[in-house]
Structure 1
Amino acid sequence: MERLRQAGINARGRIGWETDGTRARLAFEAAVLDARHSLAASFASIDPACPLLSARARLFGASWADLLRHLLRRGVSVSIALDATAGAEAATALAAIAQAAEAGGLAGRLTVTRLSHPAARAEGGGWPFGLFPRGHRQALALVDDRQLFLSAAPTGARTGRSLFLSAEGPVVTEARRHLDGFAAFTAGVRPVPPAQRLLRTLCCPRPGLAGRITPHRLANEVETAHSMLLRRAQRLVYVETQSFDCLGLARHFAQRAAAAPQLGLILILPATAPPGRTWFDRLRQRQALALLTRAFGARLFIGLAPGGCANVTLFDAEAAVAGSADLGRRALRADTHAGLYLRRSDDIAGLRAALMRHWLPEAAGENFFDPVRAVSAWRDLAQENARSGASGPRSLLPGPRLRG
């Protein structure tokens, strides 16, 4: 991984992961309950009314709002940044908690900030690029500046498909620096420090006509890490993503397909497009998928997940990139996102098995996991699901038929 180190992507630190949304929320509740002095977070939005799951947390109330009140009474400082376009309702609910805390003599212990992306602008003008909103879409939290939790909003109501990351070590310092500075970075008033293990998407306003089309990129480390790790992939790349409409990244996949004739690709997309996708997004995704189809041919399986999917890419059993960013151009080049680089010692093989088993029947054989046979096995499974009318959030269906 010398090239990754030269690019500043350092594999130090300790990473954990959880693929079950319920277990992830239980783990986060436990960490928050153990907080001694601080909880700092940035989410697109959260739900303070979200029910608590653990018996221990429910000793202090029924919802996350109750848990936050408990933290404030214990003297824990809570700081939450929300995206201005998505977090209005949550900000109102949190403001009520802050006011109640202030009335109870706990002034200043809860800070809630709604942040507009400085490069955001009103849609319109008839330009397709006007349908290019920018926001702070990351999902990360720090407990006591000691533990980092990342990539899935832990206070959302969703308990199904998810990938939730936790980390300790030097990456926590990176995350603290990012949380403290991303508003200034995206405003263009403070330089962006180099990355090590935390991978970021950051942009700021660009003056003139060009700025009306694309912002100035400050960091596109999620895309860069994908491009670099692809060059090392030999057998199988496994991807789950909410979107795949970045043509630049699709070309990197296609180039690697030509250079590595044994490389297979399993790509899982949501069966229903996530909210906010435009006709332009759908057009670009179709173009990107057609590019992959031409490049990989029979070595490609595209599956549609009725229950949605995570945002994660695994390169053989050697490395992975996961976080809040999908593989769409908006997430990779415009919105604010944060992710992590994982290496073999983070149990990539175990993570891949856990992610794959989510979609597979209990009696799934070794052919579903073997890099040489996996693509055809997954294709056969999806086609059988379609023929038999299998339904449910874990029943993969065949992807769109595109001209190769």
Structure 2
Amino acid sequence: MSGRSSTRTFITGDEVFPALERAFLDASASIDASLRAFDPHLPLHSPEGQAVGAVWFDLIVHVLRRGVRLRLVLADVDPVLHPARHRACWRSVRMLWAAAELAGPAALLEVVAARHPATGGLLPRALCWPAMQRRLGRICAVLNAGPDGLRDLPGLRSRLRQGADGRLHPRRMHLSRTTLCEHHQSLLIFDRARVHVGGPDLADGAGGHDVQVVMEGPVVAEALAHLDSFLAVVEGLRPPAPARRLLRSLSRPRGAASWHTGPTPIVAEVQQAHDALIQRAGSLIYIETPAFGDPLTARRLVRAARANPELQMILILPSPSAPWRARRRQMRLLRYLRTAFGPRLFVGGGEGATSVSIFDDHAAILGSAALDRPGLRWNTEVGVYLNVRRDVWELRRRVMGHWLPADAGAECFSSTGAVRAWAALAARNAACAPQDRSGRLLPHAPG
């Protein structure tokens, strides 16, 4: 993990969106991207963006007219488990091609809606057939009551039939190939010279807490090689490209005869980097993650806590919104951590959390992967490794400062006093009305 790269970080959507709009406008030759979601109706925020239009659709038309080549991979998802996201993905594809038509015949656009190829094995699919049929029945009821029918829902066409009355019904003898993972990465490369990793989806105009890192240097070539190859890698058609600063999670299908529900991990660099840096941490581990459900990472943290009585930890999690099994697993792992760390652990919550891990003041990991099984071993995820102390310290100061009041004292940023100071501040805020709170920090609600 080495190499020199210039680094800049943004910690909120209010910072990320204008910066991305300017990056699109400044691109002179190419934009290559893989995104979890993209909504062409998303409003533009920056004065430069608003000078060419009101929404991202206008910006895309403007960029294509300038002759910039745009390649975009959008994450498609299972149409039965996530019909709204499936429709949003294909609606975006349709609108992007409409933008290319408006831009003129010289527009250079390549857009792909990519679903992860891994599906459950034959036995899990058979066991889940009744539940999937019930879900398809509910989807049919919604589609039959709405005006759009199967528009922008290509993944459902083979799973439904249309009756003589025009109404949609599930195919009774159809055994669905359910996809439980996705291409969850957020990666944008401009002119093959600058890469943006992480940050909010380009489908949500909220200005919440979402860390994005912008880098130049050798990591750009690694990101481009990954973007060029990851679809073939997860299909099992080629090996993953080598990388040093770029961290990835990649998996491929196990095979139809398997009894497993998930894919086979083939690259787990995000998890490996966490394992190595947890072992090296001396005084403070700071982690923000959308979900904490990986037993292997929890065991690493517990071992580190027992081996080093000086090690402290701050863990920021959003309010639980996952299925009850994932919530129960997270609560069990949190109890495991609290037993090992005792008062050296603070678990906080707030209006949201992103994916960033900081180890003392010497290393950090940023990216799209949550610390759970999908993020570390199933999904396609991308992150970066930072090891320049100046960059890490600035990231730590800004990310921690997001939750704290403007007048927070030095103890809130200290490696030895932060846990105690954060716990006291969160307890005070929990006892106050929202308008009387100091900063954004609250204790984590485990419910």
Asked if TM exceeds 0.5, the reply is yes
> What runs of 5+ residues in structure 1 fail to find an aligned partner?
1-8
**1:47 aligns to what?**
39
Q: What percentage of aligned pairs have identical amino acids?
A: 37
**2:290 aligns to what?**
242
Tell me: CA distance 1:215–1:135, structure 2 relative to 1, closer, same or farther (3 Å). same
Matches of 2:230 and 2:9 in 1, distance apart? 25
Matches of 1:43 and 1:49 in 2, distance apart? 16
The offset of 1:44, in angstroms, is 1.4
Secondary structure of 1:48 counterpart: coil
The offset of 1:132, in angstroms, is 7.9
Alignment of 1:274-289 (within 5 A): 277-289=322-334
Cα RMSD for the two superposed structures:
2.4
Tell me: CA distance 1:111–1:133, structure 2 relative to 1, closer, same or farther (3 Å). same
**1:193 aligns to what?**
241
Residues 231 and 256 in structure 1, CA contact (< 8 A), matched pair in contact too: yes
Asked if residue 301 in structure 1 is aligned to residue 346 in structure 2, the reply is yes
Deviates most, 89-98 or 323-332: 89-98
Deviates most, 387-396 or 138-147: 387-396
- Give CA deviations for 1:123-161 in whole Å, capped at 9, x if unaligned: 862599x99810001011111111101101463312121
**Number of residue pairs matched?**
389
Residues 93 and 113 in structure 2, CA contact (< 8 A), matched pair in contact too: no
Q: TM-score, with normalisation over the residues of structure 1?
A: 0.90
Residues 140 and 153 in structure 1, CA contact (< 8 A), matched pair in contact too: no
Asked if residue 63 in structure 1 is aligned to residue 49 in structure 2, the reply is no
Matches of 1:40 and 1:16 in 2, distance apart? 19
The amino acid that maps onto 1:74 is: R
**1:21 aligns to what?**
13
Matches of 1:208 and 1:62 in 2, distance apart? 47
**1:258 aligns to what?**
306
The offset of 1:235, in angstroms, is 0.5
The amino acid that maps onto 2:15 is: R
Deviates most, 221-230 or 50-59: 50-59
**1:33 aligns to what?**
25
- Give CA deviations for 1:6-32 in whole Å, capped at 9, x if unaligned: xxx334322211113212211111111
Tell me: CA distance 1:321–1:131, structure 2 relative to 1, closer, same or farther (3 Å). farther
- Aligned equivalent of 2:393, options 345, 349, 357: 349
User: Following superposition, which runs of at least 4 residues in structure 1 exceed 6 angstroms of deviation?
Assistant: none
The offset of 1:401, in angstroms, is 7.5
Greater C-alpha radius of gyration: 2
**2:118 aligns to what?**
119
The amino acid that maps onto 1:145 is: R
Secondary structure of 1:200 counterpart: strand
The offset of 1:344, in angstroms, is 2.9
**2:109 aligns to what?**
110
Tell me: CA distance 1:374–1:209, structure 2 relative to 1, closer, same or farther (3 Å). farther
Matches of 2:91 and 2:344 in 1, distance apart? 50
Asked if residue 390 in structure 1 is aligned to residue 440 in structure 2, the reply is no
Secondary structure of 2:317 counterpart: strand
Matches of 1:211 and 1:89 in 2, distance apart? 31
The offset of 1:366, in angstroms, is 1.5
The offset of 1:90, in angstroms, is 4.1
**1:78 aligns to what?**
70
Asked if residue 147 in structure 1 is aligned to residue 194 in structure 2, the reply is yes
**2:251 aligns to what?**
203
